[in-house]
């Protein structure tokens, strides 16, 4: 039994680490390669400890739900570390701003006009590839609520985008 | 997919990025070796803290299972299953051998103004409508939506009432306090009056507040709401092209005069047509006076949580290889310190039997003075399916950043004495 758990965990790490990493990279900046590895490891640590709770047919949204919590804690820590390291010289290994800037200015400004909840569910759908049923698992809400909120977010984004383009 | 959605999808900043952990095999081996799959009190405590329920962890780690000596307890033990609105602000940092220290560990001190007298806020069992379908239809009718409730998931927990215009009311009973949501597909209307502000008229706060209270009275749940919070936004549609102002009023829900984790919101367009609304569906009877801890003793509990969060996997409080506790204390006048690496041992990628020689990096310790606290009520689901609102201390503390600026933050802790709380492992995926 232990071996099958270990094997399943190894498979989850292999299959979902890239998705977790991209989820984190889209939302946390700056993020060195070492920091990213550590956040992925923290996410997978929780997956290991909750392995029996990971739904077989919804592994990806469940694991991204874990990453969301890891991200929240990382943001708190990052704010304080940023202040602490403000006087330090930038490392040549730090990612360049261009790697993380949303190049499409209209999209960027439209996203900025949304509230946090709208922005998050929109990004989870458009960039992390989660559909309504999967969003429900990640956000711990019903599929219907996820569909309703996604629909609202899309509407508000379209309106904000149009507003940006006009101006 | 529309052009707009194509633009959004195409703007993914990580689309061209690949990822490979620097040593995935070592990571997996390290995790499996250091955290064997067995149920222990420490493991359960960790699960609860990672689940965002640090307040529950306080009860578990301080008091454990309730068992009063002597006379039988006057109050039934609260067996908590999940905390749908735990919202604890205590950072749930973890420390695993070999991980870079990118979080902070807090050390809390009680300010002079913190009280050593426990609050007397009661706990409340919440009562919900028995028939979800009937309640969904009733709420929808209040909001002007007439239709037949549809069982969305086929399990009787979520109902939707939709009229012929696509306006809908959803009534959800999934985990915790039932919530209702109103939404409409009708395009917002704009006023044509030349005297209006750009985007059309804005419904006055007075009208908004009066209408909201009328709805609340018709709902009849009986809970109180706090002062209105107003906001407005401008919505632009492209086909046809209209610009309309929308006004929103939000209220915190109060029980027994104490703020809760619930809120009610109404949004209307320029013609005062309801656009969006949501709120909880519950009522309460008389409260139960579960004994509470004092705010000052809660500070000790917060510190104990921090120490456990940064303890070694085998339960040691040390962060070095020698087993001797080492605490990094920020120099006077500063808060953040350079992360300390313990005496060199084998690397974190070593074998599965070498937990005592793993290099651990300690996070900077930040001294926080907790100057103020208030009491609020948070909702918790019990293992018997009931939902209670329990008192929570919300501490406010200040600390100094390395650049000399001060920062204020909040930390929350369940105030019910641990002897009266029995915490089970969370059954939900990790969530807020």
CB of B75 within 8 Å of any CB in chain A?
Answer: no
Closest residue in B to A8 (Cα–Cα) = B28
CB of A127 within 8 Å of any CB in chain B?
Answer: yes
Q: Is the predicted pLDDT of residue B172 greater than 80, yes or no?
A: yes
pLDDT bracket for residue B134 (50, 70, 90):
very high
Mean pLDDT of B215-220: 96
The complex scores an ipTM of: 0.82
Helix (H) or strand (E) holding B343: none
Q: Is the predicted pLDDT of residue B121 greater than 80, yes or no?
A: yes
Q: Is the predicted pLDDT of residue B243 greater than 80, yes or no?
A: no
Q: How far is CA A37 from the centre of its chain?
A: 14
Contact A49 B430 (CB under 8 A): no
Interface of B with A in 86-145 (CB under 8 A): 91-94, 96, 99-100, 102-104
Q: How far is A103 from chain B (nearest CA, A)?
A: 7
**Whole-number pLDDT of residue B192:** 41
**Whole-number pLDDT of residue B36:** 63
DSSP character at residue B65 = S
Which residues are paired to B277 by β-bridges? B182, B266
A167 interaction partners in chain B (CB closer than 8 Å)? none
Determine how β-strand B241-255 pairs with β-strand B361-362. unpaired
Mean pLDDT of B112-117: 91
Q: How far is A106 from chain B (nearest CA, A)?
A: 9
**Whole-number pLDDT of residue B157:** 77
Give the tens place of pLDDT for each residue, B382-428: 878 888 999 999 888 887 766 777 777 778 888 999 888 886 543 33
Point out the least confidently predicted range of B108-122, B172-186, B416-430. B416-430
pLDDT bracket for residue A5 (50, 70, 90):
confident
Give the tens place of pLDDT for each residue, B43-93: 222 222 233 333 333 332 222 222 222 233 357 778 776 544 433 333 222
Point out the least confidently predicted range of A85-94, B99-108, B150-159, B421-430. A85-94
Mean pLDDT of B336-354: 34
**Whole-number pLDDT of residue B236:** 55
**Whole-number pLDDT of residue A97:** 41
Residue A145 to residue A123: CA distance in whole angstroms: 16
Q: CATH for A102-167, among 3.40.50.1000, 3.40.190.10, 3.30.420.40, 1.10.10.10?
A: 1.10.10.10
What sections of A26-104 are H helices per DSSP? Answer: 33-49, 59-84
**Whole-number pLDDT of residue B334:** 35
CB of B5 within 8 Å of any CB in chain A?
Answer: yes
CB of A105 within 8 Å of any CB in chain B?
Answer: no
Residue among B233, B429, B432 with most chain A CBs within 10 A, to mutate: B429
> Could you say which of B19, B102, B172 has the minimum Cβ distance to residue A77?
B102
Q: Is the predicted pLDDT of residue B230 greater than 50, yes or no?
A: yes
**End-to-end Cα, chain B, rounded Å:** 31
Which residues are paired to B278 by β-bridges? B181, B265
Interface of A with B in 62-91 (CB under 8 A): 62, 65-66, 68-69, 73-74, 76-78, 80-81, 83-84, 86
CATH of domain A1-101: 1.10.1740.10
Contact A65 B37 (CB under 8 A): no
Half-sphere exposure of B288 (CA within 13 A, CB side): 15
Q: Which of B331, B343, B339, B341 is nearest to B364 (CA)?
A: B339
Give the tens place of pLDDT for each residue, A90-142: 444 444 444 446 778 888 888 888 888 889 999 999 999 999 889 988 988 87
Q: Which of A70, A74, A163 is nearest to A111 (CA)?
A: A163
pLDDT bracket for residue B343 (50, 70, 90):
very low
Q: Which of B380, B331, B322 is nearest to B52 (CA)?
A: B380
Residue A131 to residue A147: CA distance in whole angstroms: 8
Contact B93 A14 (CB under 8 A): no
Interface size, chain A vs chain B, as Cβ–Cβ contacts under 8 Å: 210
Higher pLDDT pick, B88 / B10? B10
Residue B56 to residue B379: CA distance in whole angstroms: 12
Q: Is the predicted pLDDT of residue B177 greater than 90, yes or no?
A: no
Closest residue in A to B12 (Cα–Cα) = A127
Q: How far is B397 from chain A (nearest CA, A)?
A: 15
Q: Is the predicted pLDDT of residue B197 greater than 60, yes or no?
A: no
Mean pLDDT of chain B: 70
Transcribe B45-86 into DSSP letters. HHHHHHTT-HHHHHHHHHT-S---SSSPPSS--EEEEE-TT-
Where are the CATH 1.10.10.10 domain residues in chain A? Answer: 102-167
**Whole-number pLDDT of residue B405:** 76
Residue among A52, A77, A93 with most chain B CBs within 10 A, to mutate: A77
Q: Is the predicted pLDDT of residue B322 greater than 60, yes or no?
A: no
CB of B425 within 8 Å of any CB in chain A?
Answer: no
Which residues are paired to B241 by β-bridges? B238
Longest CA pairwise span in chain A (Å): 61
Interface of B with A in 175-204 (CB under 8 A): 175, 181, 183
Where are the CATH 1.10.1740.10 domain residues in chain A? Answer: 1-101
Interface of B with A in 39-68 (CB under 8 A): 43, 46-47, 50-52
């Amino acid at each position: 039994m232990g071996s099958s758990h270990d094997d399943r965990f190894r498979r989850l790490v292999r299959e979902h680490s890239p998705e977790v990493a991209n989820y984190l990279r889209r939302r946390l900046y700056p993020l060195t390669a070492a920091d990213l590895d550590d956040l992925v490891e923290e996410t997978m640590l929780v997956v290991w400890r909750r392995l029996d709770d990971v739904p077989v047919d919804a592994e990806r949204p469940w694991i991204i739900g874990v990453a969301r919590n890891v991200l929240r804690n990382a943001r708190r820590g990052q704010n304080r570390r940023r202040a602490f390291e403000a006087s330090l010289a930038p490392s040549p290994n730090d990612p360049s701003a261009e790697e993380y800037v949303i190049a499409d200015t209209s999209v960027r400004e439209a996203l900025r006009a949304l509230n946090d909840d709208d922005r998050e569910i929109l990004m989870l759908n458009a960039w992390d590839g989660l559909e309504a049923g999967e969003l429900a698992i990640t956000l711990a809400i019903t599929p219907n609520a996820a569909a309703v909120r996604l629909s609202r977010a899309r509407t508000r984004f379209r309106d904000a985008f149009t507003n940006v383009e006009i101006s | 997919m529309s052009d707009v959605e194509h633009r959004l999808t195409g703007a993914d900043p990580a689309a061209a990025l690949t990822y490979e952990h620097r040593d995935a095999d070592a990571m997996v081996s390290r995790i499996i070796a250091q955290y064997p799959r067995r149920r222990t009190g420490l493991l359960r405590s960790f699960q609860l803290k990672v689940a965002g329920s640090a307040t529950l962890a306080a009860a578990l780690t301080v008091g454990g299972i309730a068992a009063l000596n002597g006379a039988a307890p006057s109050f039934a033990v609260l067996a908590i299953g999940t905390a749908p609105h735990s919202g604890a602000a205590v950072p749930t940092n973890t420390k695993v051998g070999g991980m870079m220290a990118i979080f902070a560990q807090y050390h809390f001190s009680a300010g002079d103004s913190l009280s050593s007298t426990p609050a007397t806020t009661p706990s409340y069992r919440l009562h919900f409508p028995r028939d979800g379908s009937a309640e969904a239809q009733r709420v929808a009718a209040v909001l002007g939506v007439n239709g037949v409730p549809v069982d969305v998931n086929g399990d009787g927990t979520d109902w939707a009432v939709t009229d012929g215009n696509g306006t809908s009311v959803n009534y959800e009973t999934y985990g915790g306090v039932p919530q209702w949501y109103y939404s409409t597909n009708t395009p917002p209307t704009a006023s044509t009056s030349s005297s209006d502000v750009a985007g059309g008229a804005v419904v006055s706060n007075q009208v908004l507040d009066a209408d909201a209270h009328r709805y609340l009275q018709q709902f009849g749940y009986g809970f109180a709401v706090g002062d209105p919070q107003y906001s407005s936004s401008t919505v632009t549609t492209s086909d046809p092209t209209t610009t309309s102002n929308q006004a929103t009023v939000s209220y915190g829900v109060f029980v027994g005069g104490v703020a809760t984790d619930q809120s009610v919101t109404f949004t209307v367009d320029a013609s005062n047509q309801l656009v969006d609304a949501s709120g909880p569906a519950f009522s309460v009877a008389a409260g139960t006076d579960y004994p509470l801890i004092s705010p000052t003793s809660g500070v000790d509990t917060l510190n104990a949580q921090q120490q456990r969060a940064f303890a070694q996997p085998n339960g040691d409080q040390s962060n070095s290889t020698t087993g001797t506790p080492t605490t990094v204390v920020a120099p006077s006048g500063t808060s953040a310190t350079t992360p300390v690496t313990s005496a060199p041992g084998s690397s974190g990628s070593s074998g599965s039997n070498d937990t005592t020689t793993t290099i651990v990096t300690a996070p900077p310790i930040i001294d926080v003075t907790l100057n103020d606290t208030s009491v609020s009520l948070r909702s918790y689901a019990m293992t018997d399916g009931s939902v209670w609102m329990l008192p929570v201390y919300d501490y406010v503390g200040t600390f100094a950043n390395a650049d000399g600026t001060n920062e204020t933050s909040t930390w929350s802790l369940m105030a019910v004495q641990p002897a009266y709380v029995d915490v089970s492992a969370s059954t939900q995926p990790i969530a807020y």
